[in-house]
Amino acid sequence: MQKKNCAPGSDLCYNVAASKADNVFSKVESGTTIGGVETLLIRKAKEFSTMDYIYVTDKQNVLLGVLSIKEILRTSKDAKVDEVMKKELVVAHRFTHQERLVYLALSHNLKAIPIVDDDRRLVGIVPFDVILHIFNEEMHEEHVQIRGHIPQSRKRAYDGEVSCSPDDKEQASWMIIGWPGAYSRHPLCQGSRAFWRAS
């Protein structure tokens, strides 16, 4: 797939994180007790599209950490979220390309990806069902391109540019990154054949 141009400030960016984000999700402020989180989840469960994770922010909405439902259930109600939350976070930014969201979810085994702005303020999350939809969309487009005419090399916009040779069937699909058991020749170019063996 050719990456569509998307300049910050544009309202026409379909394939970036901001356009996929859900802004109704479980979030609490630093200092909240586990009991307070449980009360929030019970009271607002129907409003949330997903409750896989609870995100912790400060008063300025800066993302500080995240904890899972499992961690909440096995922690004392009097404990503070700050004591059990994970502070090493995997995040995407508003103009991160949707391909990168799938890469992050698969490689880190995550069910949702938080989206932050330049000041690390939490602006939304991309839930698992949306990530799966993106994955399916990208795989379909990749399959169409493989059967048609593809340039000898293509560039992918991640942390750096990566060139993958589409003539090598072992590297037919870049989307398999992070999938258990998949083999790679390059961190961002993996074989679709290995993916189907792994799945």
Q: Give the tens place of pLDDT for each residue, 77-92.
A: 999 999 999 999 999 9
- Topology of domain 21-92+116-125, per CATH? CBS-domain (3.10.580)
* Residue 28: predicted pLDDT: 96
Q: Give the tens place of pLDDT for each residue, 157-166.
A: 434 333 333 4
Residue, of 104 and 147, whose pLDDT is higher: 104
- The length of the chain in residues reads 199
Instruction: Report the 10 Å Cβ neighbour count for 107.
Output: 13
Please report which confidence band the pLDDT of residue 6 belongs to, taking 50, 70 and 90 as the band edges: low
Instruction: Report the 10 Å Cβ neighbour count for 161.
Output: 10
For the residues 43-69, what does the mean pLDDT come to?
92
Is the confidence at residue 146, as pLDDT, over 80?
no
Q: State which H helix or E strand residue 93 sits in.
A: strand 92-93
Please report which confidence band the pLDDT of residue 191 belongs to, taking 50, 70 and 90 as the band edges: very low
Among positive and negative, which fits the CA dihedral 178, 184, 188, 194? negative
Range(s) of the chain covered by CATH 3.10.580.10: 21-92+116-125
The pairing of beta strand 63-68 with beta strand 92-93: unpaired
9-13, 48-52, 94-98, 172-176 — most confident range: 94-98
Report the predicted TM-score, pTM, of the whole model to 2 decimal places: 0.67
* 155, HSE (Cβ side, Cα atoms, 13 Å): 6
* Residue 60: predicted pLDDT: 97
* φ, ψ dihedrals at 198, nearest 5°: -70, -35
* Residue 143: predicted pLDDT: 60
* Residue 145: predicted pLDDT: 62
